Amino acid sequence: MLIDSHCHLDYFTDEELPALLGRAAAAGVGEVVTIGTRLAQAPQSIALAEVTPAVWCTVGVHPHYAAESPVPRPEAIAALAAHPKVIGIGESGLDYFYDRSPRDVQQASFRVHIKAARLAGVPLAIHARDADDDVARILHEERDEGGPFDFLMHCFSSGRALAEAAVEMGGYLSFSGILTFPRSDALRAIARDLPGDRLLVETDAPYLAPVPFRGKRNEPAWTVHTARVLATARGLSPEDVAALTTGNFRRLFQKAVA
């Protein structure tokens, strides 16, 4: 079984979800994690996860939306993670490509989410785009100041230096459909070389559909295509990659007990 460790089910209608999750199950994707991007979204995500055994969720504020309201207190985010179906915090991090929120606000929000993850004892899903140096710096500073915390670099498409820094700090990396793109040779090399016990797969649906569906609306069933490319990169069978990434998911997201 595969697990889609990062998707956005709120982009699909209630009417679409049963068929969407049915296609995922038929493809061998048995569980999915729907990711929080605004705290106001948390009740919706939790309600869906409560009634859908195959769905877990996280809570948090995406860096795009960090300036929409005052940066929340870490205790407020951590309190939402007390629910049994909330298995992580995030996604949070830094996005200097779009810069939809001021960088200082993004950084303040990122630090708050790290503290919330530590308080709640659950992993943090990290978004990093065109901000490798600052992401690594903040992770190091927060680790040195407050102690270790679990985290996942989601939809990893950054450079080797950030990948290696994340692993050194005990982090995990999740690969999306970007891994399947023709020009992603450098990313496939990173996926090949990282320790196997730090790898997960995801879709980031509805974004970043893998080859052969590139340009279409992504969905959890298509996790299988990224997993196959990861298997090829590492010289493994698809079955081995499914077992590897699912085991890694369970070890990282310890609340996600099937």
CATH of the domain at 243: 3.20.20.140
Strands (E), the chain: 2-7, 29-34, 55-59, 86-95, 124-129, 151-153, 172-175, 199-201
In a domain, 192, yes or no: yes
For the chain, what is the radius of gyration of the CA atoms?
17
In a domain, 24, yes or no: yes
Give the residue numbers spanning the domain of 84.
2-252
In a domain, 174, yes or no: yes
pLDDT at site 258: 65
Type of residue at 126: I
CA 185 to chain centre: 21
In a domain, 157, yes or no: yes
- pTM for the full model? 0.97
In a domain, 148, yes or no: yes
Cα–Cα distance between 153 and 206 in angstroms, integer?
18
Taking the chain (258 residues) in consecutive chunks of 10 residues, what is each chunk's mean pLDDT?
Answer: 98 98 98 98 98 98 97 97 98 98 98 98 98 98 97 98 98 98 98 98 98 98 98 98 98 92
Could you give the number of structural domains in the chain?
1
Tokens of 207: 């974004």
In a domain, 258, yes or no: no
Cβ neighbors of 138 (< 8 A, separation 6 or more) are 94, 107, 110, 111, 114
Residue among 160, 149, 162, 142 nearest 117 (CA): 149
Residue among 5, 51, 48, 47 nearest 24 (CA): 5
In a domain, 257, yes or no: no
Cβ atoms 60, 37 nearer than 8 A: yes
Q: Is 182 helix (H, G, I), strand (E, B) or coil?
A: coil
In a domain, 116, yes or no: yes
